[in-house]
Amino acid sequence: MKSRPKLLWLQGVTCNGNTHSFLNYPHLSYILETFEFLYHPILPATYTLEKIASCTQSCDILIFEGAYDPRMMRAGSRMETLVQHYGSTANTIIAVGSCASFGGMFKQSDPEYITGVGFDREIAKGPFAKSNKLINLSGCPIHPEWLGYTLRMIADNKVILIDEMHRPKELYAYLAHHGCTRNEYFEWKVDAEHFGTKEGCLFYKQGCRGPMTHASCNKILWNDVSSKTRIGSPCFGCTEPDFPRTNMFETKTNMSIPQDVPLGISKRSYLTLTGIAKSFRIPRLEKRLIDDNT
């Protein structure tokens, strides 16, 4: 009988959000049957954390959740020692979540020491900086399908193409803007005045980062049902290296002009298109999609 690939899930400075998100993966039983979990903080595993911390085992896949702080301790061992040992034995290293990928939310508590395992924001830094083994699955938290896709590709011995930030292109080549049900409002510059409405674009007033965020949230829906923009909440750009930002529910402007424009478009071109679009009035887009009074 062919042995199963050995998977080790370590946690740094974390809120457990990616673990809990992955528990919603609809094919979790397949993953548990395909891989041997040497250790996981919640799922059934072969060894205790104390055994893992002794650094007497090896793994094929190292999954790291949370921000990296080399000084922190796990069962009597320094995190620096653990990642060096298991990172050297693993064929693939997966950073799950924006904290593990880029430092994320927890980096703000100690900017000098805390990073991702391969990047400090956009800069290559950390124990696996520039490692060709590293795959970043950024997000706060990750979509469970993103990790499921990655592990299935590994199980099938398929090549995972990655971008310059080591994110799988199949998942992150898209923008969160792609597939958004509000795109027609975006094109005609019709604003959403409030959160939670079905109508209007959230980019102009509510801080939505969808047009400049690499993510497939509107292509691979959460729970196969929805996404943040579909329920009337702005995209916060949680998959990007500069997450989190300040005032995330506001669109930063200079003289009423958005400070950031959609990815790959010059500000001059964008302002020209915006001016043309705003000169038109589309009555259909000014109405409610569902009128409660009829």
Comparing 219 with 273, which gets the higher pLDDT?
219
CA nearest to 104, candidates 5, 222, 237: 237
pLDDT the model gives residue 144: 98
DSSP class of 229: G
Fold of 6-168: Rossmann fold (3.40.50)
pLDDT, position 254: 79
Average pLDDT over residues 74-102: 98
Architecture of domain 174-286: Irregular (4.10)
pLDDT at residue 292 is higher than 70: no
Tokens linked to 259: 């400070």
The whole-number average pLDDT for the span 222-250 is 94
What is the reported pLDDT for 108? Answer: 84
**Bridge partner list, 68:** 115
- Residue 61 clears pLDDT 70, i.e. is over it: yes
- The domain locations on the chain are 6-168, 174-286
Q: How confident is the model at residue 294 (pLDDT cuts 50, 70, 90)?
A: low
Mean pLDDT of 135-139: 98
Query: Would you say 194 and 249 are in contact if contact means Cβ atoms under 8 Å apart?
Result: no
E strands in 75-187: 77-78, 92-96, 119-120, 123-124, 134-137
Q: Is the pLDDT of residue 293 over 70?
A: no
Cβ atoms of 7 and 43 within 8 Å: the answer is no
Residues contacting residue 156 through CB under 8 Å, at least 6 positions apart? none
pTM: 0.93
Please state, in angstroms and rounded to a whole number, the distance separating the CA atoms of residues 11 and 164: 24
Q: What is the pLDDT of residues 216-226, one digit of tens each?
A: 999 999 999 99
